[in-house]
């Protein structure tokens, strides 16, 4: 029997998503070719699930406990990690630094390199390492593949990847823009091309990945040329709990005037800022409910979020010159018609015409929400980081 199944572990800062896929069965997308949107009826997906609120009240204690829960759920469906049909485990790893720009077979040395990158992604890489260690303990014989969030952005031009700071200091300490959510930006930019009936090489796309973490990217002909996250996943858009762009002098000011330490400021900007910092809620659904009741704090949070998003749409329109499509993805991008409309309304001079009626229709498939006359196609394109990771992992181990 040939082993053709891949288990994918996608550890976020407070969640663990998993999927078990059979790569021998038809899947609607291919690694390099055209992609069509994925539905729940795909025969390739054997199991999937999510453990949420890790480390929070009402959730499991930590990522080890979450993994144990996933292993138990799979075993109860006779799909456990002990299955001889497993070909590999694919792990999402958020930060790959400058070294990891391709899917990588995991060895002890690779694990220790990923651990060295923890200071650059303190909310994410530790969880990724835990997942790798637990899975390797359970199945030491099985190939385990790391797929990096940073990889898709690793070819960004120097003009976009460099910060304008002293070069020697930057080079010595690896201070440059890496970018994240790369598997999602790669998958969604390809799926957007497919939705337009084009090859990825033919289209320029702005991808707006709006989840709890959020980032924008400018993709020219299938290649990422700029993205909003930088050295860490803190730069760029306003997020659920992260500030995104601020004047770096805010940090000095808070240290000198408010007497805050570096760790306090790190915690403030990563965990107590963004939507939650502005209005106390980080879930866009709750913010929508509060706005409907005329809550001024929720309205302000929404307005700041959308203003930043519009700025990036404008910036990346200029970076790309010609924009063929803008694609909204991840939890907020796929579900919040209000965010999509507020971000793009009034941008007709840029050739962007969102259609309020089409935009308001709910759906789970990739779809266009622009007017028929819009020069720039506006699309909602569900992301599938797990499928992308599975395909990249399988490409390394397939017989
Ligand atoms: N129906 C909805 N309307 C508006 N926002 C939603 C909806 N469903 C989910 N979201 C938003 O999506 C976020 C989670 O997105 P997701 O892509 O799953 O994030 P992550 O992978 O970072 O955990 C939630 O915090 C919430 O703000
Ligand atoms: C990199 C990042 O921000 O990931 P997530 O959105 O899963 O927190
Ligand atoms: Mg995510």
CA 197/CA 200 separation, integer angstroms: 10
How crowded is the C-beta side of 233, counted as CA atoms within 13 Å?
Answer: 32
Phi-psi region of 70 (alpha: psi -120 to 50; beta: other; left: phi over 0): alpha
Confidence of residue 128 (pLDDT cuts 50, 70, 90): very high
Residue from 185, 212, 239 to probe ligand 1 pocket by mutation (most atoms less than 8 Å from CB): 212
* Minimum-distance ligand 2 atom for the alpha carbon of 214: 6
Rounded to an integer, the average pLDDT of 3-23 is 92
Phi-psi region of 167 (alpha: psi -120 to 50; beta: other; left: phi over 0): alpha
pLDDT value for 249? 98
Note the ligand closest to the C-alpha atom of 274: 1
Greater pLDDT, 77 or 206: 206
pLDDT tens profile 273-288: 999 999 999 999 999 9
Confidence of residue 354 (pLDDT cuts 50, 70, 90): very high
Contact 201, 234 (CB under 8 A): no
Predicted complex: ipTM over 0.95: yes
Q: Which residues have C-beta within 8 Å of that of residue 381, sequence separation ≥ 6?
A: 37, 188, 191, 192, 195, 327, 328, 329, 334, 366
pLDDT tens profile 83-109: 889 999 999 999 999 999 999 999 999
pLDDT tens profile 178-211: 999 999 999 999 999 999 999 999 999 999 999 9
pLDDT at 33 over 70: no
Greater pLDDT, 391 or 28: 391
Q: Which residues have C-beta within 8 Å of that of residue 104, sequence separation ≥ 6?
A: 110, 145, 146, 148
Question: Can 281 be counted among the known catalytic residues?
Answer: no
Write out residues with Cβ below 6 Å of ligand 2.
Answer: 12-13, 94, 124, 149, 180-181, 211-213, 233
Alpha helices in 202-328 (DSSP H): 249-256, 262-271, 274-279, 284-292, 296-320
Proportion of the chain above pLDDT 90, given as a percent: 83
Q: Is 204 annotated as a binding residue?
A: no
Rounded to an integer, the average pLDDT of 341-359 is 97
Residue 111: Cβ-neighbour burial (10 angstroms; 0-12, 13-18, 19+): middle
CA nearest ligand 2 atom 4, residue = 213
Q: What angle do CA 214, 219, 225 make, to 5 degrees?
A: 90
Instruction: Tell me the pairing of strands 325-329 and 204-210.
Output: parallel
pLDDT at 36 over 50: no
Rounded to an integer, the average pLDDT of 138-161 is 96
Q: Which domains does the chain have, with CATH numbers?
A: 5-175 (3.30.420.40), 197-380 (3.30.420.40)
pLDDT at 1 over 80: no
- CB count within 10 Å of CB 336 equals 20
Q: Which residues have C-beta within 8 Å of that of residue 281, sequence separation ≥ 6?
A: 275, 287, 290, 298, 301
Q: 22, 149, 226, 384: which one is catalytic?
A: 149
pLDDT value for 52? 87
Confidence of residue 42 (pLDDT cuts 50, 70, 90): low
Rounded to an integer, the average pLDDT of 37-56 is 77
Proportion of the chain above pLDDT 70, given as a percent: 96
Least confident of 28-42, 115-129, 147-161, 344-358: 28-42
pLDDT value for 28? 59
62 DSSP assignment: S
Distance of CA 373 from the midpoint of ligand 3 (Å) = 33
* Minimum-distance ligand 1 atom for the alpha carbon of 52: 23
Average pLDDT of the residues of the chain: 93
Q: Is 271 annotated as a binding residue?
A: no
Write out residues with Cβ below 6 Å of ligand 1.
Answer: 12, 15, 211-213, 240, 282-285, 330-332, 335-336
Confidence of residue 54 (pLDDT cuts 50, 70, 90): confident
pLDDT value for 123? 85
Instruction: Give the distance from CA 6 to its chain's centroid.
Output: 20
């Amino acid at each position: 029997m040939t082993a053709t199944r891949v288990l994918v572990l996608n550890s976020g800062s407070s969640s663990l998503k998993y999927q078990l896929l059979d790569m021998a069965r038809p899947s609607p997308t291919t690694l390099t070719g055209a992609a069509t949107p994925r539905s729940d009826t795909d025969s390739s997906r054997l199991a999937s699930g999510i453990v949420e609120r890790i480390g929070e009240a009402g959730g499991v204690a930590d990522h080890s406990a979450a993994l144990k829960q996933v292993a138990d759920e799979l075993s109860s469906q006779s799909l456990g990690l002990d299955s001889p049909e497993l070909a590999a485990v694919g792990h999402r790893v958020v930060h790959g630094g400058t070294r990891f720009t391709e899917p990588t077979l995991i060895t002890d040395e690779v694990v220790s390199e990923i651990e060295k990158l923890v200071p650059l992604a303190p909310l994410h890489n530790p969880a990724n390492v835990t997942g790798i260690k637990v899975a390797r303990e359970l199945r030491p014989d099985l190939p385990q593949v790391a797929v990096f969030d940073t990889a898709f952005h690793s070819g960004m031009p120097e003009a976009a990847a460099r910060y304008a700071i002293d070069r020697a200091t930057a080079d010595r300490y690896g201070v440059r823009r890496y970018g994240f959510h790369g598997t999602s930006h790669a998958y969604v930019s390809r799926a957007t091309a497919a939705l337009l009936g084009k090859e990825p090489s033919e289209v320029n796309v702005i991808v707006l990945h709006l989840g709890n973490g959020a980032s924008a990217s400018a993709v020219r002909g299938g290649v990422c040329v700029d993205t909003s996250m930088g050295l860490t996943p803190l730069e760029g858009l306003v997020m659920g709990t992260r500030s995104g762009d601020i004047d770096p002098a805010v940090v000095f000011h808070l240290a000198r005037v408010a007497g805050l330490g570096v760790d306090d400021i790190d915690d403030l900007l990563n965990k107590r800022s963004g939507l939650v910092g502005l209005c106390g809620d980080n879930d866009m659904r709750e913010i929508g409910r509060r706005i409907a009741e005329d809550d001024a704090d929720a309205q302000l949070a929404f307005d700041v979020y959308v203003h930043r998003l519009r700025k990036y749409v404008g910036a990346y329109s200029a970076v790309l010159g010609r924009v063929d499509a803008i694609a909204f993805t991840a939890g907020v991008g796929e579900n919040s018609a209000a965010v999509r409309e507020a971000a793009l309304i009034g941008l007709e001079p840029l050739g962007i015409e969102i259609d309020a009626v089409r935009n308001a229709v709910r759906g789970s498939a990739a779809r266009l929400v622009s007017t028929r006359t819009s020069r720039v196609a506006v699309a909602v394109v569900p992301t599938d980081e797990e499928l992308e990771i599975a395909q990249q992992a399988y490409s390394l181990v397939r017989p």
